[in-house]
Structure 1
Amino acid sequence: MNETPLLSVHGLGRSFGGLRAVDEVSFTVSPNSVRSIIGPNGAGKTTLLDLITGFTKPDSGTVEFAGRPISGLAPHKLPSLGLMRTFQSARLVPGLTVRENVMLGGYRFTRARLLSEGLRLPRTRREERSLVARADDLLRFLELERFADQDAADLPAGVQRLVEVARGLSGGPRLLLLDEPAAGLDDTETNELCDVLRAVCAGGISLVVIEHNIDLIMRLSHAVLVLDAGKAIADGTPAAVRENPAVIEAYLGAKA
């Protein structure tokens, strides 16, 4: 892929005390592609996402999204640019239904202010209907419609993770960062997730996926970055990464 990168990460680094959690990591994400990040526990994968999305301040390096520097931007400003993420543990709002949780991701499309919401003005009602329709479309797409009216907090962990994916998609991202989306899913659910994520990418949304399920990574990804102790030890196609001796020694060999 020769397109201008959608996401460019240059020399990103972060230390915590004497520990170098992320050590001068660089990579790019092409439009309409899936970039996966793998590595042993403690390799720095989630910290890397935190640095990209502003939840943790880097000690060094820069991040550009769609050609715009985003280093230092607050996390809440990124969805309006078209960058969304999920987390290792699903962060759904208890007391809200699955549909309502998914609707939260789409509020960047609304114009109504708090006053009009309180007065229930026509614009507010129109926007709410649009959010409901968008949420229901996504729940059907992910085959979660049967859970739409249930309290999200009452669902199994694996289903909660899929709801969080739906919420991320409801924001209309150009790039969606997914932190272990297959955690808690069985083999059948993981296969279905793979099909869904392929369809998402085919629809024009690029993905960055952190995942321990190597079979999923190899089937889904266009490019794979491998971290070990905060350092990038390999970056290439799934086939090339799988045959890389350093990767086998640090990670894949331990999974055999």
Structure 2
Amino acid sequence: MTAATHVQPTPPATGPEPILQVTGLTRRFGGLTAVDHVDLTVRPDTVRAVIGPNGAGKTTLLDLITGFTRPDEGSVTFLGQDVLALAPHRLPGIGLMRTFQSARLVPRLSARENVMLGAHHLTRSGFLADGLRLPRSRREQRALAERADAVLDFLELRRFAATPGSDLPTGVQRLLEVGRALAGAPKLLLLDEPAAGLDGTETRELAAVLRAVSRAGTAIVLIEHDVEMVMSISDDVLVLDAGAVVADGPPAAVRADPAVLAAYLGQPDERGQEDS
């Protein structure tokens, strides 16, 4: 029985229209299919998790959605716009932001300045105006600083505002990555393992932040290895194994799916044995 046979389709939703629609996304590297005809729908104000064992194709999926890797097949639309036709640096301007597996803070910049970088696409002053400190540029920089401080307050990190990125604890750096993306006013936030390196308390704090973010109107696609965290905050969970979807649906249904247990724990899939 093929992996695709195990897919548990999400029932048709009667809520808001999707803001992200991924259809048939496929990427091959030589003889390896890293992402195999993946469909993914994300609706407003929801947390949509993507989980799977190491090498399942999760990060490659985000790279394809955000243009860092080109697909061999498939389509990606965000708010009705063809995302694949846009360069990655243009995505923040349409409301799509992402983070990466490792924190990418600028070490010598303060926490506030790092967060300000996430909102730079909202400004109109060019480099020349910034360099000459023209009035418009100064106003925009003040506005960016205020926006950054609001994000730091939301994350309860204001005490680190002046601390260089290189001096921040790991947990703070991970939260700050999320904060930098939030500063850009995204409609959809793609997070790649934001809980990596966090202890239990920090993970719970991050989970609370992400749920608050989604309730405030920003949809989230979350890649995460901490299954308990995923199950506690996600509205729907898509499971990848060897690049293919093996399950997709509400957390409780996905947790009980034999195909998911097989992917994570190597347990036999009884449905596959019966049908083989």
The normalised TM-score by structure 1 is: 0.96
Aligned residues of 1:6 and 1:67 also touching (Cα < 8 A): yes
Q: Is 1:242 matched up with 2:271?
A: no
Alignment partner of 1:104 out of 101, 113, 117: 117
Alignment partner of 2:214 out of 183, 193, 201: 201
- Between structure 1 and structure 2, the one with the greater Rg is 2
Task: Tell me the distance in 2 between the aligned counterparts of 1:183 and 1:202.
Answer: 23
Structure 1 residue matching 2:41: 3-state secondary structure: strand
Gaps of 5+ in 1: none
Shift of residue 127 of structure 1? 0.7
Alignment partner of 1:13 out of 19, 26, 42: 26
Q: Deviations over 1:224-249 (max 9, x none)?
A: 00000000000000011001000011
Q: Is 1:81 matched up with 2:94?
A: yes
Aligned residues of 1:5 and 1:30 also touching (Cα < 8 A): yes
Shift of residue 38 of structure 1? 0.2
Alignment match, 1:159: 172
Alignment partner of 2:184 out of 165, 168, 171: 171
Please report the RMSD computed on the Cα atoms of aligned residues, expressed in angstroms.
1.2
Shift of residue 123 of structure 1? 1.1
Aligned residues of 1:57 and 1:72 also touching (Cα < 8 A): no
Shift of residue 112 of structure 1? 1.0
Q: Deviations over 1:27-51 (max 9, x none)?
A: 1001111100000000000000000
Gaps of 5+ in 2: 1-12, 268-276
Look up the equivalent residue of 1:54 and give its one-letter code. G
Equivalent residue runs for 1:58-77 within 5 Å: 58-77=71-90
The normalised TM-score by structure 2 is: 0.90
Equivalent residue runs for 1:16-55 within 5 Å: 16-55=29-68
Look up the equivalent residue of 2:259 and give its one-letter code. A
Structure 2 residue matching 1:94: 3-state secondary structure: coil
Q: Deviations over 1:50-76 (max 9, x none)?
A: 000000000110000011111142110
Identity %: 63
Q: Is 1:116 matched up with 2:129?
A: yes
Alignment partner of 2:202 out of 169, 182, 189: 189
Task: Tell me the distance in 2 between the aligned counterparts of 1:230 and 1:72.
Answer: 23
Greater Cα shift, 63-72 or 228-237: 63-72
Q: Deviations over 1:175-207 (max 9, x none)?
A: 000001111111111111111111101110000
Shift of residue 151 of structure 1? 1.1
Alignment match, 2:225: 212
Shift of residue 108 of structure 1? 1.3
Task: Tell me the distance in 2 between the aligned counterparts of 1:176 and 1:128.
Answer: 24
